[in-house]
């Protein structure tokens, strides 16, 4: 049965995300307080126009190859809805190439836009959205928190990708430190070994389990729970400034990890502003790893992607 479009103008918001959270490689993720906003209009023509303000305005495509357009079209196909011309206006705040899930956000935004446009939005519920997003992304640790909000655990099986929201205690805050330099994810993935020692795998299993418990209300365990032996050490040389920043923050006793594939750095904990991690430029961090740093400090749980009809 073909699905019809029930709206022609929608607004979508989608958060930045941190994948891995240290030990939870390709499985744990968290939504961060940096939000992309898009307005999408379905128009009665075959044309596509994309207007971009903010991040990627100089470099992103303005045609069918734009990730939001590709994901939106894939979602319409998935539910049997007819394709349409599109006018998209994007206000991008999520930095690109910094390990903050900008591509996952674009994919999720496209699918959520399709959900808001169609007559039966439940056909693109959270589980279906993740299933479709995973076809683009290949690893669901960023797409899952972009969809569900908060922190999530994701996994894959023969049927595709799945995720569950995690309990995160209200006192746990995040701070994400963003350097001015970028790092393509595929470069960071290329340095990972095909095999790791059994002892390191066991180490990460324990730390990831501890992290789930720490997030649920044991912030005193976050420092130990964010240790990792599966990816950050292997990537130390390509991560550039992130390696130095993680080292400096952990020396101060803060639970710092590389955000996704870097080079941004995520800190989990309580009272982060008092620890010098307020939102804005970080003067004390200037020159660490040969870079300058900006911080986004978030206290409340960040909701997942939303789409509303206008």
CA dihedral 288, 293, 187, 35 (to 10 degrees): 160
292 annotated binding-site participant: no
Beta strands per DSSP E along the chain: 9-19, 28-43, 48-54, 85-92, 151-157, 160-165, 173-179, 255-258, 265-269, 280-281, 293-298, 306-309
Cα separation, 60 vs 63, in Å, equals 9
Judge whether 99 is annotated as a binding position: yes
Q: Is 181 annotated in some ligand binding site?
A: no
Please report how the helices 126-137 and 102-117 are oriented relative to each other, as an axis angle in degrees rounded to 10.
140
SS3 106: helix
Which sign does the torsion angle of CA 283, 284, 288, 293 carry? negative
Q: Which two tokens stand for residue 138?
A: 């290949």
231 is in an annotated binding site: no
Is there a binding annotation on residue 22? no
For the beta sheet containing 293-298, the strands, ordered from the edge strand earlier in sequence to the opposite edge, are 255-258, 265-269, 173-179, 293-298, 280-281
Cis check: omega of the bond before 263, within 30 degrees of 0:
yes
The encoded tokens of residue 195 equal 């095999």
Which residue from 67, 36, 30, 33 is spatially nearest to 50, judged by alpha carbons?
67
Q: Any binding-site annotation on 266? A: no
102 labelled binding-site residue: yes
Q: CA 81 to CA 309: how far, in whole Å?
A: 17
- In eight-state DSSP terms, residue 302 is P
Q: Is 247 annotated as a binding residue?
A: no
Q: Which residues fall in the annotated binding site?
A: 95-105
Q: Which residues fall in the annotated binding site for ATP?
A: 95-105
């Amino acid at each position: 049965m073909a699905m019809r479009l029930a709206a022609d103008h929608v607004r979508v918001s989608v958060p930045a995300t941190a994948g891995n959270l240290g030990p939870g490689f390709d499985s744990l993720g968290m939504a961060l307080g940096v939000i992309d906003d898009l307005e999408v209009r379905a128009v009665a023509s075959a044309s596509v126009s994309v207007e971009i303000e903010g991040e990627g305005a100089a470099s992103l495509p303005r045609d069918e190859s734009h990730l939001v357009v590709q994901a939106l079209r894939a979602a319409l196909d998935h539910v049997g809805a007819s394709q349409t011309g599109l006018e998209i206006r994007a206000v991008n705040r999520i930095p690109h190439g910094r390990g903050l899930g900008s591509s996952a956000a674009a994919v999720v935004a496209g699918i959520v836009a399709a959900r808001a446009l169609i007559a039966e939005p439940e056909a693109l519920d959270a589980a279906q959205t993740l299933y479709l997003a995973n076809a683009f992304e290949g690893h669901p640790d960023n797409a899952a928190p972009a969809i569900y909000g908060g922190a999530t655990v994701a996994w894959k099986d023969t049927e595709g990708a799945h995720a569950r929201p995690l309990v995160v205690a209200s006192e746990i805050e995040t701070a994400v430190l963003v350097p001015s330099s970028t790092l393509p994810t595929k470069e960071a993935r290329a340095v990972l070994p095909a095999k790791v020692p059994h002892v390191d795998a066991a180490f990460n299993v324990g730390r990831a389990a501890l992290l789930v418990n720490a997030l649920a209300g044991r912030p005193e365990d976050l420092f130990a729970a964010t240790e990792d032996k599966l990816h950050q050490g292997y990537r130390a040389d390509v991560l550039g400034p992130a390696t130095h920043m993680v080292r400096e923050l952990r020396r101060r006793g803060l639970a710092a990890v590389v955000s996704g594939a870097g080079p941004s750095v995520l800190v989990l904990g309580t009272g982060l502003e008092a620890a010098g991690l307020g939102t804005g430029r970080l003067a004390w961090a200037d020159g660490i790893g040969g870079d300058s740093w900006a911080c986004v400090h978030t206290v409340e749980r960040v909701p997942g992607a939303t789409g509303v009809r206008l």
